[in-house]
């Protein structure tokens, strides 16, 4: 979902990050506020004032979203749901959960915390704006305060829509989960509603572009709808994956006779006898005594000029194995899949007491998932 992210700061143990896409949307928001929203509602101010209002308004929205997601994270921590942090991206923000809620109550309380916090901020800004009119707060300042009251109200209302994975969709899932006691069924229903709402927004976006002539507004409807549709589908698939692999250890899926290579093997033989034969991109380098001396990848081989392949040995370019390409046999398989997703590798070395006992591959996990889902359905 996310591209390149930048760490901003930590607050009460939660890492706040910003996706590069948010920089783009922040500029667009500041521009639209400065050239459209504020000049329309507050006439007669200078261009510089409008731009200052637009920048401060965009910054206020930034802080409002952080507060919204921070509320989710604090309540999640209260109910034992591990949180990875908060990330702002093009469509708003997301409190990243390390694991799914374990109870309907935990999910309900975590989900509703965000909209309640946004409503509270909206009410506070509205009260300040009312007082501001009476005490004579400068018009530009009060204009930004009124905008923040409005945008936080919109944020709360939009997130309460019963479209998973929006907050309203999570609330719906928690209620269905509590009623029937089946989180998979509840997720399927909530995700279906989320997908349906996404399709509705996509259709509205196309309608606005083709028949109303509102290209920019229509494109936003279309993109938000597409995001919601994909997010709803992905959320259900992630639940199915987690449920299928939950409680299964890496030991069950690993291959116990992995292809290994000796450190004194020339690079040209590595390519001809191993890469072209087994089609793997990473190989464990093992000594005669069975000790793992490192790992070698096709990427490392590519960095060496081809004419030198017959002059260099694997041991000269191999690198120590690390936490990104190794895992223990008793680790939960869902963690292995998560590690592959984070690092982009498709094979992990299974190590036990510094000894290589097997290899687990993405293909083996996906084959199991496919069969498990088919039989469960």
pLDDT (0 to 100) of residue 377: 58
The pLDDT of residue 1 is above 60: no
344/357 same-domain check: yes
- Between CA 348 and CA 324 the distance in angstroms is 8
Measured distance CA(102)–CA(351) in Å, rounded: 30
Give the residue from 323, 369, 317, 314 showing the smallest Cα distance to 345: 323
What token pair was written down for 30?
A: 């500041």
Range from 76-85, 136-145, 278-287, 344-353 carrying the lowest mean pLDDT: 76-85
Does residue 89 surpass a pLDDT of 70?
no
Burial of 260: CB neighbours in 10 Å, binned 0-12, 13-18, 19+: middle
**For range 9-22, the mean pLDDT:** 77
Q: Are residues 83 and 155 in the same domain?
A: yes
Crossing angle for the helix pair 333-343 and 362-376, to the nearest 10 degrees: 130
Same domain? For 104 and 35 the reply is yes
Q: Which of 57-66, 75-84, 154-163 has the lowest mean pLDDT?
A: 75-84
Domain final residue pick, 115, 130, 160: 160
Residue pLDDT, tens place only, 102-113: 889 999 999 999
Whether the per-residue pLDDT at 184 is higher than 90: the answer is no
Name the pairing type of β-strands 355-361 and 347-352.
Answer: antiparallel
User: Residue 373 above 80 pLDDT?
Assistant: no
In-domain check, residue 114: yes
Percent of the chain with pLDDT over 90: 43
- Of 6-15, 38-47, 232-241, 292-301, give the lowest mean pLDDT range: 6-15
- Residues 240 and 281 occupy one common structural domain: no
**170 in a domain, yes or no?**
no
Q: What is the pLDDT of residue 85?
A: 76
**Domain shared by 37 and 86, yes or no:** yes
237 and 359 part of one domain: no
Looking at the domain assignment, is residue 165 inside a domain? no
The model's pTM:
0.73
Question: 173 versus 234: which is more confidently predicted?
Answer: 173
Q: For a pLDDT cut of 70, what percent of the chain falls above it?
A: 97
Domain that includes residue 72, residue range: 5-160
Residues near 323 by beta carbon (within 8 Å), at least 6 away in sequence: none
Helix (H/G/I), strand (E/B), else coil: 15: strand
Mean pLDDT on 85-98: 70
Is 171 a member of any domain?
A: no
Under 8 Å between Cβ of 319 and 325: no
Structure confidence at residue 4 as a pLDDT band (50, 70, 90): low
Residue 100 located in a structural domain: yes
Model confidence over 259-307: pLDDT tens digits?
899 999 999 999 999 999 998 888 999 888 778 888 998 989 999 999 9
Q: What pLDDT, on a 0 to 100 scale, did the predictor assign at position 321?
A: 86
């Amino acid at each position: 979902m996310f591209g390149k992210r930048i760490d901003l700061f930590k607050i009460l143990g939660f890492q706040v990050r910003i996706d590069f896409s948010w920089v783009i949307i922040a500029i667009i928001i500041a521009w639209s506020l400065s050239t459209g929203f504020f000049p329309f509602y507050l006439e007669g101010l200078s261009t510089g004032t409008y731009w200052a209002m637009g920048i401060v308004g965009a910054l206020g929205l930034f802080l409002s979203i952080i507060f919204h997601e921070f509320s989710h994270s604090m309540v999640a921590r209260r109910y034992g749901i591990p949180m990875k942090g908060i990330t702002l991206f093009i469509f708003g923000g997301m409190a990243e959960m390390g694991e799914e809620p374990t109870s309907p109550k935990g999910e309900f309380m975590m989900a509703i915390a965000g909209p309640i916090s946004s409503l509270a901020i909206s009410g506070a800004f509205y009260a300040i704006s009312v007082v501001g009119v009476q005490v004579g707060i400068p018009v530009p300042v009060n204009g930004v305060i009124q905008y923040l009251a409005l945008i936080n109200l919109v944020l709360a209302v939009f997130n309460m829509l019963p479209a998973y994975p929006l907050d309203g969709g999570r609330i719906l899932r928690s209620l269905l989960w509590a009623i029937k006691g089946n989180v998979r069924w509840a997720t399927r229903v909530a995700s279906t509603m989320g997908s349906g709402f996404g399709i509705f927004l996509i259709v509205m976006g196309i309608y606005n572009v083709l028949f109303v002539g509102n290209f920019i507004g229509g494109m936003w409807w279309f993109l938000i709808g597409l995001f919601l549709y994909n997010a709803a589908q992905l959320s259900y698939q992630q639940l199915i994956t987690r449920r299928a692999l939950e409680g299964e250890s890496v030991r069950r899926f690993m291959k116990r006779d992995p292809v290994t290579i000796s450190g004194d093997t020339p690079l040209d033989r590595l390519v001809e006898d191993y890469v072209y034969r087994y089609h793997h991109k990473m190989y464990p380098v093992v000594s005669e005594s069975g000790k793992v001396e490192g790992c070698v990848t096709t990427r490392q081989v590519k960095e060496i000029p081809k004419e030198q392949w017959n002059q260099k040995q694997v041991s000269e370019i191999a690198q120590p194995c690390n936490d990104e390409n190794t895992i223990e046999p008793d680790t939960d398989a869902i963690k292995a899949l998560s590690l592959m997703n984070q690092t982009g590798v498709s094979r992990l070395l299974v190590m036990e007491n510094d000894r290589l006992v097997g290899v687990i591959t993405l293909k083996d996990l996906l084959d199991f998932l496919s069969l498990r889902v088919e039989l469960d359905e």
